[in-house]
Amino acid sequence: MITRIIKDVNTAVKEITDGNVISLPTETVYGLAGDALNPDAVLKIFEVKNRPSFNPLIVHINSIDDISVYGEEIPEELYKIAEKFSPGPITYVVKKKQIIPDIVTAGLDSVALRIPAHPLFSEVIRISGKPVAAPSANMFGRISPTNALDVLKELNGKIKFILDGGECNVGIESTVISFTEALRSGTINILRPGFITKEEIEDVSGIKINPEINSGQVIVYNNYRETDSGIIKPVEDREINLLSPGMLKNHYAPLTPLFLTDDIDYFLTNYIPAAGVINLETFGSLHNIAVNLFRVLREYDEKKFEYIVVSKVKNFGIGTAINDRLTKASAGFVRIQNNELIFIGK
């Protein structure tokens, strides 16, 4: 199959309505999209990405009114948050309606809904008249693409079209918040930190975020746990309610091992040929770091260093999401002791 980068929205719409998958631009990262109401199309998304079937997909819709078309028992607080941040990089997990096929939600009785802000994606939803399921347009576990060329490098030969919508202006995935727990306990859970921050959500909703789930470190998904040796095991019944699906320990990873460090200044001042040193500070604001993070990881991956080193950023606001991605992408930690490098695996 030949993969072409296109600009024509109608070609993209036809692929979706024909039950095929295509890459579409969103404001966060590029998506691998298909008709969310067509189980065969959704299966193709999982196959192209090699994504495990127990990792549920986000369904993209065009209006706040559509939330109650695909979800139910929607709390008032969700609407307060949606009025402020949607369309935009925030996803709401709510109880699902029957119309959403089980394959989309990995068999869960909840569905993740987002109203994307990219005009081309909105056009595709509007013209096709379909809700669109779309995870990021990368092979499972790899770095999310933030421009059409990076999608091509990732999925060349696997899909027919990539709709080119330019560089993504958010650069990291949406914040995923859950209301299914909130209904029971009066809190909101952040299942994945993202561009919209915990503080912003608390301000608008007047509800506290549940601090335990908001760790970005949850490694249990559905009924399975990833053990330290990488083996997936069923979890105990009592664990299932506590934790969220789809939160993998290793994710967003370059092929070159990535090491986090607190000693970035050492790497910047001592030339080590094996090390690709990413200095995130050169991007200035946390916002700008988020926009450039995945692109720069891909760029360094292509340079074929033995390893890449990077330091975490300040852990507040968007920094929480950036650090979440860096931790999941990393192979471990490196520090300097007596002028020697000490590598510690994850």
Report the C-alpha gap between 263 and 265 in whole angstroms. Answer: 5
Interaction of residue 136 with Mg ion, rule CB under 5 A = yes
CB of residue 108 vs ligand AMP: minimum separation in angstroms?
A: 4
User: Taking the mean position of all CA atoms in its chain, how far away is CA 4?
Assistant: 24
Interaction of residue 175 with Mg ion, rule CB under 5 A: no
- E strand or H helix that includes residue 176: strand 175-178
CB of 324 to Mg ion, least distance (A): 12
Q: How far is the CB of 144 from Mg ion (least distance, A)?
A: 5
Q: Which residues of 44-80 are buried (b: 16+ CB within 10 A; e: fewer)?
A: bbbebbebbeebbbbbbbbebebbeebbeebbebbbe
Query: Which among ligand AMP, Mg ion, none contacts residue 246 (Cβ within 5 to 8 A by kind)?
Result: ligand AMP
- CB 218 to Mg ion: min, Å: 15
Q: With binding defined as CB under 5 A, does residue 174 bind Mg ion?
A: no
**R_g of the chain, CA atoms, integer Å:** 20
Cis check: omega of the bond before 87, within 30 degrees of 0:
yes
Q: Is 67 in the site for ligand AMP (CB under 6 A)?
A: no
**Closer CB to ligand AMP, 135 or 276, in the complex:** 135
Q: Give yes or no for residue 108 binding ligand AMP (CB under 6 A).
A: yes
Query: Residue 58 or 297: which CB sits closer to ligand AMP?
Result: 58
What dihedral do alpha carbons 295, 301, 306, 310 form, nearest 10°? Answer: 10
Q: Is the dihedral of CA 188, 109, 89, 243 positive or negative?
A: positive
Structure-token match 């995870």, residue found: 135
Nearer to ligand AMP among residue 131 and residue 276 (C-beta): 131
247 binds, among Mg ion, ligand AMP, none (CB under 5 to 8 A by kind): ligand AMP
Helix (H, G, I), strand (E, B) or coil at 265: helix
Distance CA 118, CA 298 (A): 23
Binding segment (CB under 5 A) for Mg ion, from list 110-118, 134-142, 177-185, 205-213: 134-142
Q: How far is the CB of 45 from ligand AMP (least distance, A)?
A: 9
CB-nearest residue to ligand AMP: 246
Tokens of 268: 């910047």
Applying CB under 6 A, which residues contact ligand AMP? 55-58, 93, 105, 108, 110-112, 135-136, 173, 176, 191-192, 244-247
Applying CB under 5 A, which residues contact Mg ion? 136
